[in-house]
Structure formats: structure tokens, C-alpha cells
Homo-oligomer: A and B are copies of this chain.
Amino acid sequence: MESKQFKEIKGGVVAPKGFQCNGIACGVKVPDSKRLDLGLIVSDVPAVAAATFTSNKFKAAPVRVSKAHLASNGSIRAIVTNSGNANACTGPRGINDAKRMTAVTGEALDVKPNHVLVCSTGIIGVPMPMDRIEAKIPKLVSGLQSTSGDNFAKSIMTSDTLMKSFAIEVPLGTKTVRIGASAKGAGMIRPNMATMLCFITTDAAIGKTELRMMTQSAVEQSFNRISIDGDTSTNDTVMVLANGTAGNRKIQGGSPSARKFRQALDYVMLHMAKLLVSDGERVTKFVEIQVRGAASFTDAKKVAEAVANSMLVKCSWNGSDPNWGRVMHAIGYSRARVREELVDIYFDGLCAAKSGLVTETPIEKLKAAVAKREFTVTIDLNLGEAEHSVFTSDLSQEYVDYNRAEYAVRVS
């Protein structure tokens, strides 16, 4: 989807040196099934950690516990995860369960509980089946390996149809460092309505402050461009562990290697964010909404998000219908400064509307543009210089079918 700036390598979250992972079935998703739902990432040495968490006011227990552990000390050894249960809206019991997951994992790894982070995703409001989880943690630990990130990536999937695992290598001065990643998403009408988790590992040597700054800005230009309106779920989390085992000279702020590493981290997060959109629940289209010529950045953002969020626009894409009138609709209620007679709309570069009016572009050409699996909608407000773009998807009947049944299936 983006130009290949960096060399992709195998291994996912264990592609970087000094990391091990595992993913097994413990019966949270479906009792006694083979579906992987318990995951673990371990760094052989204490790693510098950075994370961003959901802005939803109702934060899941694991989010609160992981925040506390990151605050209490910057060096992390492990991340334990489960899918099938979000441990959200579970009250004090949920907090104890999340703490217990870090304690039991820490015990098995012989590290302090607050050196372990925890993430959960799945159904809300149901107490965690801790017996099943605790019983399997020794097996989870004994199965740790450093050759493939696949099982871990599979263990965090919920409604995802594809495992999301990725890694690149980054030449840094005389050394090469690696960045690995694994993520889960889905729920793509408003992406962050479904939990988004992303775990990033790197063997680069970097300071905590530097890593946290870079993580923040990388999330801003990747996951925050698919998570529209700040409608974040109770569990959304991005975690980055840097264990320094690559032996590079510690990355100093403002240095060329800092710029290079930041580029690489941005690249990995944007790649993962795009994977999340393309693998949204029953998504058939990947659409980039580019807004330019806005009077301000805020206006550009308002327009991009209004269009990306419009159900009628999403439905028209699903039907490969170049319905620029519905795009105008959304621009008109976006509350941004706009002038109808100045708006131009393009589908993959083909001008559908010029100065707010229909163009001569043949409807068949426009239909062909939006019939593609990936296309761009460009909106030029012709008012100023500000720009913003977001990534979104179509709305399919299958999405509705999936989401009307999901919970009912899980409880029965």
C-alpha cells in the first residue's frame, strides 16, 4: 500500500534479537477449543517500554493495570495477552484478574509483576475465566520460542480474518536494528469501535523519553488516522518494547539515526494501521480520503472524518457507486468552513464534481475507479492550504450480518 522504504523480514514480533513469544489455546474464546487465545511476548533482557492507550472514559482493567506498571518503572520484560474476553466493565474483580495475570506470568518467568504488561480483547462485561487462563500460563511460558511470531499474532485475533504480523530491518550507522509488529483490529465502520491492539518489538538501543516521543507521533499519523472521531474502544492499546540487543549506539534525539529510526517506526505503524482497515469486518474496499485546500487543519480533519464516517457514502462504495452527491452531503454537515461552489471531488484522480457541480466524466469511468479494491477520494475545498487524510473502508451487508450475531453467538 505504501512504497517499500524498508526491507521486510520474517519473524514478526520475534524478528528483533532477544525476543521470544508464544500463543496457545486456553479456552477463553471457546472452552476446550483449539482456537489460540492466550499470548505472550518476552524480552530476554529488561526493555525500555512506551505505550498509548484508549481515550475512552471506560478503560478496561488491563489498560489501567498496564498504565500503572509503566508508571511504576520504565523497564518491562513481558506482555501477556488474551482474546475472547476484554475484561472491561468488570469492576474491582476485573482489576484483580488483570493484576493476577501479570503476577502469575511474572512468577513463571521469575520477574516482578510490575515488569509485566497485560492486554485483553473480546466481549465486554463478562468476568474473566481466570482458572482456564492461570492453568495454561506455565504451558505458555514453556513454549516460548524466537523463530516465528505467527502463534502470538493468531492468539490476539478476534473478528480479524487475517493474522497481522510484520517486521523490517533498519540499517543504523554500522549496525542493523529490527522492528517487529503484531496487531488485531476489525470493526471497521468506525475502526476504534472494535478493540485495536498493536505490539511492537525492536532490538534498537534507545532511551525511554525518545521512544515515548516517537511512539506518540507514530500513533498520531497511523492508528489515529483510521480511528475516527476518537470513538476508541475500552481496550485500545499500542505497546512498544526496545531491548537494545542490536548493539547499536544508543539513539540520541535529533541525530540522523533518530530520524531514521523514527521513519522506520512510522512506517511500521502506518503499515499495521492499513492492514487493520483492509481486514475490517467484512470490508471489501480500502479507501483513502484526502482533503486539501482547507482553511485550517481542523477543517480538513472535520471534512475527512465526516466523509469517512458517512454510512451512505460507505454503502455507495460497497456498491461501487461513485456517488459524489453523498460526499457533498457529508462535507456540508461537517461543520468545516466550506463553499459549495468551490468544492472539487475526485475518485482516484477522476474529477466527479468541479466547483460543486457534476462534470462530464463518464459515469462508467467513475464506476470503474470505485470498483477497485483500493482507491482514493480527493476533496479540494479550494479555500486554503491545509490538508489531512484518513483511511477508511466500505460498509457491507456482511458487516451487519456479522455484528448482529456476534454477541448472541458468544453467550449461547
A contacts, CB < 8 Å to B: 55-58, 86, 88-91, 123-126, 187, 189-190, 192-194, 229-234, 310-312, 315-316, 318-321, 323-326, 328-333, 335, 338, 340-341, 353, 355-358, 363, 367, 395-397, 399-401, 403-408, 411
Contact = CB atoms under 8 A, between A and B. Distances in A.
A119 B395 CA distance: 31
A357 B400 contact: no
Contacts of A125: 324-325, 328, 353, 357-358
B56 A319 contact: no
A362 B192 CA distance: 30
A193 B234 contact: no
A321 B335 CA distance: 34
A244 B407 CA distance: 56
A232 B333 contact: yes
Contacts of A315: 399-400, 403-404
A56 B333 contact: yes
This protein's copies in its complex: 2
Contact of A311 (B192, B193, B338): B193
A316 B403 contact: yes
B332 A58 contact: yes
28 contacts: A56-B332, A57-B332, A57-B338, A58-B328, A58-B338, A89-B340, A125-B328, A126-B358, A190-B311, A193-B329, A194-B312, A229-B333, A233-B329, A234-B329, A234-B332, A311-B395, A315-B403, A316-B404, A318-B400, A319-B404, A319-B405, A319-B408, A321-B406, A321-B408, A325-B407, A326-B407, A395-B400, A399-B400
A126 B310 CA distance: 21
A161 to B, nearest CB: 18
A316 B193 CA distance: 13
4 smallest A-B Cβ distances: which pairs? A124-B325, A319-B404, A58-B332, A315-B403
B56 A312 contact: no
A56 B232 CA distance: 27
A270 B44 CA distance: 65
Contacts of A311: 189-190, 193, 311, 395, 403
